Protein backbone atom coordinates (compact mmCIF):
# COMPACT_ATOMS: atom_id res chain seq x y z
CA UNK A 1 0.00 0.00 0.00
CA UNK A 2 1.36 3.39 -0.96
CA UNK A 3 0.83 6.44 1.21
CA UNK A 4 -0.96 8.31 -1.60
CA UNK A 5 -3.62 7.02 -3.98
CA UNK A 6 -3.82 8.83 -7.33
CA UNK A 7 -6.87 8.81 -9.58
CA UNK A 8 -7.67 10.77 -12.76
CA UNK A 9 -11.09 11.60 -14.13
CA UNK A 10 -12.05 14.24 -16.68
CA UNK A 11 -9.00 16.40 -16.10
CA UNK A 12 -9.17 16.13 -12.30
CA UNK A 13 -6.25 14.58 -10.39
CA UNK A 14 -7.49 13.24 -7.05
CA UNK A 15 -4.80 12.67 -4.42
CA UNK A 16 -5.95 10.63 -1.44
CA UNK A 17 -3.91 10.36 1.73
CA UNK A 18 -3.97 6.60 2.16
CA UNK A 19 -3.02 5.70 5.72
CA UNK A 20 -6.52 5.32 7.21
CA UNK A 21 -5.29 3.01 9.98
CA UNK A 22 -3.41 6.00 11.50
CA UNK A 23 -5.89 8.67 10.39
CA UNK A 24 -3.63 9.64 7.45
CA UNK A 25 -0.91 10.89 9.74
CA UNK A 26 2.31 12.17 8.21
CA UNK A 27 5.47 10.13 7.99
CA UNK A 28 8.49 10.45 5.70
CA UNK A 29 6.91 8.29 2.99
CA UNK A 30 3.64 10.22 2.89
CA UNK A 31 5.44 13.57 2.77
CA UNK A 32 7.72 12.43 -0.07
CA UNK A 33 4.92 10.80 -2.07
CA UNK A 34 2.53 13.70 -1.72
CA UNK A 35 5.20 16.26 -2.65
CA UNK A 36 6.05 14.27 -5.78
CA UNK A 37 2.37 13.78 -6.65
CA UNK A 38 1.62 17.51 -6.45
CA UNK A 39 4.72 18.33 -8.51
CA UNK A 40 3.67 15.81 -11.16
CA UNK A 41 0.13 17.19 -11.30
CA UNK A 42 1.50 20.73 -11.59
CA UNK A 43 3.48 19.84 -14.72
CA UNK A 44 0.86 17.62 -16.39
CA UNK A 45 -1.03 19.54 -19.09
CA UNK A 46 -3.91 17.06 -18.89
CA UNK A 47 -4.62 18.03 -15.28
CA UNK A 48 -6.99 20.97 -14.89
CA UNK A 49 -7.54 20.73 -11.12
CA UNK A 50 -6.27 18.82 -8.08
CA UNK A 51 -8.46 17.45 -5.28
CA UNK A 52 -6.80 16.47 -2.00
CA UNK A 53 -8.66 14.23 0.45
CA UNK A 54 -8.19 11.46 2.99
CA UNK A 55 -9.08 7.77 3.04
CA UNK A 56 -11.29 6.54 5.85
CA UNK A 57 -12.71 8.67 8.62
CA UNK A 58 -10.07 11.42 8.78
CA UNK A 59 -8.46 13.98 6.51
CA UNK A 60 -5.11 13.99 8.34
CA UNK A 61 -4.20 13.72 12.01
CA UNK A 62 -0.88 15.51 11.55
CA UNK A 63 2.34 13.83 12.70
CA UNK A 64 2.52 10.05 12.89
CA UNK A 65 3.31 8.57 16.33
CA UNK A 66 6.43 6.75 15.13
CA UNK A 67 7.54 9.89 13.30
CA UNK A 68 7.17 11.81 16.57
CA UNK A 69 9.32 9.23 18.35
CA UNK A 70 11.98 9.90 15.74
CA UNK A 71 11.67 13.64 16.31
CA UNK A 72 12.15 13.20 20.05
CA UNK A 73 15.42 11.28 19.67
CA UNK A 74 16.85 13.06 16.61
CA UNK A 75 19.50 15.78 16.64
CA UNK A 76 18.67 19.41 16.01
CA UNK A 77 20.12 19.16 12.48
CA UNK A 78 18.10 16.03 11.74
CA UNK A 79 14.98 17.78 13.00
CA UNK A 80 15.75 20.77 10.79
CA UNK A 81 16.14 18.55 7.72
CA UNK A 82 12.93 16.73 8.59
CA UNK A 83 11.05 20.02 8.93
CA UNK A 84 12.38 21.27 5.60
CA UNK A 85 10.88 18.25 3.85
CA UNK A 86 7.47 19.07 5.33
CA UNK A 87 7.98 22.72 4.42
CA UNK A 88 8.69 21.75 0.81
CA UNK A 89 5.40 19.83 0.70
CA UNK A 90 3.40 22.80 1.98
CA UNK A 91 5.17 25.23 -0.36
CA UNK A 92 4.66 22.91 -3.35
CA UNK A 93 0.94 22.69 -2.64
CA UNK A 94 0.57 26.42 -1.95
CA UNK A 95 2.21 27.44 -5.23
CA UNK A 96 0.84 24.64 -7.43
CA UNK A 97 -0.22 26.42 -10.64
CA UNK A 98 -3.40 24.33 -10.95
CA UNK A 99 -6.53 25.02 -8.89
CA UNK A 100 -6.50 22.91 -5.73
CA UNK A 101 -9.45 21.76 -3.63
CA UNK A 102 -9.24 20.32 -0.13
CA UNK A 103 -12.04 17.78 0.26
CA UNK A 104 -12.02 17.67 4.06
CA UNK A 105 -13.80 14.42 4.84
CA UNK A 106 -12.89 14.31 8.54
CA UNK A 107 -10.57 15.51 11.26
CA UNK A 108 -7.54 17.66 10.41
CA UNK A 109 -4.91 18.45 13.02
CA UNK A 110 -1.52 20.14 12.90
CA UNK A 111 -0.01 19.56 9.48
CA UNK A 112 -3.43 18.45 8.24
CA UNK A 113 -4.68 21.98 8.88
CA UNK A 114 -1.66 23.20 6.93
CA UNK A 115 -2.69 21.16 3.90
CA UNK A 116 -6.22 22.61 4.04
CA UNK A 117 -4.81 26.15 4.31
CA UNK A 118 -2.53 25.62 1.30
CA UNK A 119 -5.39 24.67 -1.02
CA UNK A 120 -7.20 27.34 -3.05
CA UNK A 121 -10.65 26.07 -2.07
CA UNK A 122 -11.57 24.10 1.04
CA UNK A 123 -14.86 22.24 1.42
CA UNK A 124 -15.50 20.29 4.61
CA UNK A 125 -17.94 17.81 6.05
CA UNK A 126 -19.89 19.20 8.98
CA UNK A 127 -18.51 16.39 11.15
CA UNK A 128 -14.87 17.47 10.68
CA UNK A 129 -12.79 18.70 13.63
CA UNK A 130 -9.68 20.87 13.51
CA UNK A 131 -6.84 21.78 15.83
CA UNK A 132 -3.43 23.40 16.00
CA UNK A 133 -2.44 21.57 19.16
CA UNK A 134 1.36 21.87 19.02
CA UNK A 135 1.64 24.07 22.13
CA UNK A 136 0.30 21.18 24.21
CA UNK A 137 3.54 19.39 23.33
CA UNK A 138 5.74 22.39 24.06
CA UNK A 139 6.05 23.08 20.31
CA UNK A 140 4.65 25.54 17.75
CA UNK A 141 3.05 25.11 14.29
CA UNK A 142 6.13 26.67 12.71
CA UNK A 143 6.27 25.13 9.23
CA UNK A 144 2.56 25.57 8.49
CA UNK A 145 2.27 28.99 10.12
CA UNK A 146 2.61 31.20 6.99
CA UNK A 147 -0.15 29.30 5.20
CA UNK A 148 -2.51 29.08 8.16
CA UNK A 149 -2.01 32.76 8.90
CA UNK A 150 -2.83 33.70 5.30
CA UNK A 151 -5.98 31.56 5.50
CA UNK A 152 -7.43 32.70 8.82
CA UNK A 153 -5.67 35.98 9.61
CA UNK A 154 -3.40 37.09 12.41
CA UNK A 155 -6.06 37.55 15.09
CA UNK A 156 -7.47 34.04 14.79
CA UNK A 157 -4.01 32.50 14.38
CA UNK A 158 -2.77 34.07 17.60
CA UNK A 159 -5.69 32.61 19.53
CA UNK A 160 -5.42 29.11 18.06
CA UNK A 161 -1.62 28.93 18.17
CA UNK A 162 -1.71 29.86 21.87
CA UNK A 163 -4.65 27.75 23.09
CA UNK A 164 -4.32 24.64 20.93
CA UNK A 165 -8.10 24.30 21.13
CA UNK A 166 -10.07 21.96 18.91
CA UNK A 167 -12.84 23.53 16.82
CA UNK A 168 -15.58 22.30 14.52
CA UNK A 169 -16.26 22.75 10.82
CA UNK A 170 -18.61 25.70 11.24
CA UNK A 171 -16.00 27.58 13.26
CA UNK A 172 -13.43 26.66 10.59
CA UNK A 173 -15.71 28.27 8.02
CA UNK A 174 -16.30 31.33 10.17
CA UNK A 175 -12.58 32.06 10.52
CA UNK A 176 -11.80 31.37 6.86
CA UNK A 177 -10.13 27.95 6.95
CA UNK A 178 -13.07 26.37 5.09
CA UNK A 179 -15.03 28.05 2.32
CA UNK A 180 -18.03 25.77 2.58
CA UNK A 181 -19.44 23.24 5.06
CA UNK A 182 -21.87 20.53 3.98
CA UNK A 183 -23.30 17.32 5.37
CA UNK A 184 -20.87 14.43 4.95
CA UNK A 185 -23.14 12.75 2.40
CA UNK A 186 -23.20 15.95 0.30
CA UNK A 187 -19.42 16.40 0.20
CA UNK A 188 -18.87 14.81 -3.20
CA UNK A 189 -21.66 16.86 -4.78
CA UNK A 190 -20.21 20.08 -3.34
CA UNK A 191 -16.76 19.28 -4.72
CA UNK A 192 -18.25 18.33 -8.09
CA UNK A 193 -20.11 21.65 -8.25
CA UNK A 194 -16.90 23.57 -7.61
CA UNK A 195 -15.03 21.53 -10.22
CA UNK A 196 -17.70 22.43 -12.77
CA UNK A 197 -17.13 26.11 -12.03
CA UNK A 198 -13.38 25.67 -12.40
CA UNK A 199 -13.79 23.81 -15.71
CA UNK A 200 -15.50 26.85 -17.26
CA UNK A 201 -12.47 29.10 -16.72
CA UNK A 202 -9.40 29.40 -18.92
CA UNK A 203 -6.47 27.44 -17.47
CA UNK A 204 -3.94 30.16 -18.34
CA UNK A 205 -6.14 32.78 -16.71
CA UNK A 206 -6.54 30.60 -13.63
CA UNK A 207 -2.80 30.20 -13.28
CA UNK A 208 -2.27 33.95 -13.60
CA UNK A 209 -5.19 34.68 -11.24
CA UNK A 210 -3.69 32.47 -8.56
CA UNK A 211 -0.27 34.07 -8.92
CA UNK A 212 -1.88 37.50 -8.86
CA UNK A 213 -3.73 36.83 -5.62
CA UNK A 214 -0.63 35.46 -3.91
CA UNK A 215 1.57 38.27 -5.21
CA UNK A 216 -0.85 40.98 -4.10
CA UNK A 217 -0.90 39.39 -0.64
CA UNK A 218 2.89 39.51 -0.56
CA UNK A 219 3.25 35.74 -0.62
CA UNK A 220 5.72 34.68 -3.30
CA UNK A 221 7.62 31.42 -3.60
CA UNK A 222 11.15 32.74 -3.19
CA UNK A 223 10.23 34.57 -0.01
CA UNK A 224 8.28 31.55 1.26
CA UNK A 225 11.35 29.33 0.90
CA UNK A 226 13.43 31.73 3.00
CA UNK A 227 10.73 31.79 5.68
CA UNK A 228 10.57 27.99 5.62
CA UNK A 229 14.26 27.75 6.48
CA UNK A 230 13.79 30.08 9.45
CA UNK A 231 10.73 28.16 10.66
CA UNK A 232 12.45 24.78 10.24
CA UNK A 233 15.29 26.05 12.43
CA UNK A 234 12.75 27.22 15.03
CA UNK A 235 10.87 23.94 15.29
CA UNK A 236 14.13 21.98 15.35
CA UNK A 237 15.36 24.09 18.26
CA UNK A 238 12.09 23.62 20.16
CA UNK A 239 11.98 19.86 19.60
CA UNK A 240 15.38 19.37 21.26
CA UNK A 241 14.70 21.90 24.05
CA UNK A 242 13.91 20.77 27.59
CA UNK A 243 10.26 21.74 27.24
CA UNK A 244 9.89 20.18 23.81
CA UNK A 245 11.46 16.93 25.00
CA UNK A 246 9.14 16.86 28.00
CA UNK A 247 6.11 17.57 25.82
CA UNK A 248 6.94 14.86 23.30
CA UNK A 249 7.82 12.35 26.03
CA UNK A 250 4.56 13.07 27.86
CA UNK A 251 2.57 12.61 24.67
CA UNK A 252 4.28 9.32 23.83
CA UNK A 253 3.89 8.13 27.44
CA UNK A 254 0.20 9.17 27.45
CA UNK A 255 0.58 11.41 30.49
CA UNK A 256 0.23 15.11 31.19
CA UNK A 257 3.41 17.17 30.73
CA UNK A 258 5.14 18.62 33.79
CA UNK A 259 3.80 22.14 33.24
CA UNK A 260 0.23 21.00 33.93
CA UNK A 261 1.21 19.08 37.02
CA UNK A 262 1.27 15.63 35.50
CA UNK A 263 5.04 15.14 35.19
**DSSP track, 10-38:** TTEEEEEE--GGGTT-B-HHHHHHHHHHH
Q: Which of 21, 78, 134, 221 is catalytic?
A: 134
Task: Give alpha helix (H) positions in the chain.
Answer: 28-43, 65-73, 76-94, 111-118, 145-152, 154-163, 169-175, 187-199, 203-216, 221-239, 242-253
Asked if residues 47 and 198 have their Cβ atoms less than 8 Å apart, the reply is no
Active site residue 171: no
CA dist., res. 1 & res. 19, Å (int):
9
Dihedral sign from CA coordinates of 169, 173, 175, 178: positive
What are phi and psi for residue 95, nearest 5 degrees? -105, 15
Instruction: Give the residue numbers marked as catalytic.
Output: 134
Amino acid sequence: MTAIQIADRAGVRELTLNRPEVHNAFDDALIAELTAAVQTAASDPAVRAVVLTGAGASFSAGADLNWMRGMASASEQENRDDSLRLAELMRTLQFCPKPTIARVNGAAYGGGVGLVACCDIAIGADTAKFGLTEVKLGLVPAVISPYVLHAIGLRQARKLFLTGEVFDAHEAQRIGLLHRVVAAEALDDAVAFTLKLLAKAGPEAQREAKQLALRMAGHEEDGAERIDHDNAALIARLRVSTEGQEGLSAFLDKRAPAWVGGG
